[in-house]
Amino acid sequence: MSGEFTDIKSLTYDEVMAFVTSIGEKPFRGKQLYEWMHVHRVASYQEMTNLSKAFRQQLEDTTTYTSLTKVDCQISKEDGTRKYLFALADGNVVESVLMRYKHGNSVCVSSQVGCRMGCRFCASTLDGLLRNLTASEILDQIYAIERDTKERVSNVVVMGTGEPMDNYDNIVRFVKLLSDEHGANISQRNITVSTCGIVPRMRQLADEKLQITLALSLHACNQQKRLELMPVANKYDIHEVVDACRYYFEQTGRRITFEYSLVGGVNDSSQDAEELTALLQGINCHVNLIPVNPIKERDYVQSNRAVVEAFKNKLEKNGINVTIRREMGRDIDGACGQLRRKHISET
Ligand code: SAH
């Protein structure tokens, strides 16, 4: 958001109405404006052809209309996955990914420019946090991809660069806008927010009583192992984090997803699977196993296929719901955050 200007696309429907009437326009102008932004998703005020020139000028003068510029787009020949690099108005760049599934298109959005969580295996955090994204800038990633592909997006996961619970207010605003029936109207049940485990914010999110899925990046079966991979564990013990997940389920009735990146020789033994089973006892959940995506800055390696299968079978035998995440766009990949890093080092 720039200075004193109103970030118009981050305003809720009611806030747009209030804003429009505050500058002396009729409420139905607010409805039109909101539809241009969130239904037709135009890239600028110029395209809002049924608004008067004077009103558009007034909007230009008093508000910010965010919009992204496509800098790069890599398309997988294997499965059509598209990895986008977008420039924000201030020149920073963010990554977003479109994945095509049988059940529809899913977009993975970034929530921050960089990240300060420091997870050992993750490329997005290597240069730290530059700034939070506004709700509008997170929405823009979806809108820009829909414009680029001329295809609808049905599912959204907040699993790109950044820690959404470290940008809490903007994420909640984003979810409300994305699921608003006046606008993009994507069901909350088709939205997933992934966190490394910031306990107070997870509990606060539970109290919002949204119908979104909460995914927890667990990646370890006990506190000691989690500490080795995720510095955030210094602040919140693994049991506190798992309790916050239970609380989320109690408040929302939404089944928790646990993400578990398998790192060769680090967290993939049969003993790890047993401990994980005990840790998740009695939680209505689903475990998503992700073969770690090696980054060149660290020497972590993927577990081999047989180890991944054995880990999955053990959990299944123990009555845990589990899937191995299909690796989309392997040929264009590089882990999360690597396209952005490549771009930054080249420019
Ligand atoms: N900060 C949030 C969301 C962004 S990361 C979170 O931690 O959940 C999205 C997911 O990708 C997380 O589960 C994260 O731990 C995982 N991840 C990051 N780098 C990875 C890598 N190199 N290989 C496998 N998974 C990775």
- Is the confidence at residue 264, as pLDDT, over 80? yes
> Which stretch of 98-107, 216-225, 279-288, 337-346 has the lowest confidence by average pLDDT?
337-346
159 lines ligand 1 (CB under 6 A): yes
Which residue minimizes the CA distance to atom 3 of ligand 1?
159
Residue 329 has pLDDT above 80, yes or no: no
Are 157 and 164 within 8 A, CB to CB?
no
pLDDT greater than 90 at residue 239: yes
DSSP 3-state assignment of 263?
A: strand
Which ligand 1 atom is nearest residue 121's CA? 22
DSSP 3-state of 261? strand
- Domains of the chain are 6-64 (1.10.150.530), 69-346 (3.20.20.70)
Q: In the prediction, which pLDDT does 335 show? A: 58
Label residues 221-236 b or e (16+ Cβ within 10 Å = b): beeebbeebbbbbeeb
Q: Which amino acid is at 180?
A: D
Catalytic site residue from 115, 119, 221, 336: 336
User: What is the distance in A from the centroid of ligand 1 to the CA of 146?
Assistant: 24
Tell me the average pLDDT across 175-194: 98
What pLDDT sits at residue 218? 98
pLDDT band at 297 (very low <50, low <70, confident <90, very high): confident
Region 27-45: mean pLDDT is 96
The pLDDT, as a whole number, for residue 88 is: 98
Least confident of 41-45, 162-166, 272-276: 41-45
Dist. CA 279–CA 243, nearest whole Å: 10
122 lines ligand 1 (CB under 6 A): yes
pLDDT tier, 333 (very low <50, low <70, confident <90, very high otherwise): low
Catalytic residue chosen out of the listed positions 25, 95, 137, 163: 95
Ligand 1 atom nearest the C-alpha of 160 is 4
Q: What is the pLDDT of residues 97-114, one digit of tens each?
A: 999 999 899 999 999 999
Q: Report the amino acid identity of residue 28.
A: F
| 3-state DSSP assignment of residue 36 | helix
Strands (E), the chain: 6-7, 63-64, 69-75, 82-87, 93-101, 104-108, 112-114, 129-132, 155-158, 191-195, 213-217, 256-262, 285-291, 322-324
Residue whose CA is closest, atom 21 of ligand 1? 293
Report the pLDDT value the prediction gives residue 342, as an integer from 0 to 100: 81
Sign of the alpha-carbon dihedral angle for 290, 291, 296, 300: positive
Per-residue pLDDT at 327: 74
Q: Is the pLDDT of residue 1 over 50?
A: no
Atom of ligand 1 nearest to the CA of 300: 22
Task: Output 103 or 64, whichever has higher pLDDT.
Answer: 64
Distance CA 58, CA 81 (A): 40
- Across 136-154, average pLDDT: 97
Identify whether 95 is a catalytic site residue: yes
Residue with tokens 């006046």: 182
pLDDT in tens, 118-133: 999 999 999 999 999 9
| Tokens linked to 109 | 């959005």
By the 8 A CB rule, do 183 and 13 touch? yes
Does any ligand 1 atom lie closer than 6 A to the CB of residue 121?
A: yes
Task: Please give the pLDDT value at position 343.
Answer: 81
Q: What DSSP line would sit under 120-178, residue for residue?
A: TT-STTTT-EEEEPPHHHHHHHHHHHHHHH-----EEEE-SSS-GGGSHHHHHHHHHHH
As a whole number of angstroms, the distance between CA 119 and CA 38 comes to 34
Q: Is the pLDDT of residue 272 over 80?
A: yes
Structure tokens at 339: 């396209």
Ligand 1 centre distance from Cα of residue 316 (Å): 23
* Percentage of residues in the chain having pLDDT higher than 70: 98
| Claim: this prediction has a pTM higher than 0.85 | yes
Average pLDDT, the chain: 94
* 334 band by pLDDT with thresholds 50, 70 and 90: low
Amino acid 277 reads T
Tokens describing residue 100: 């095509």
Model confidence band, residue 73 (pLDDT cutoffs 50, 70, 90): very high
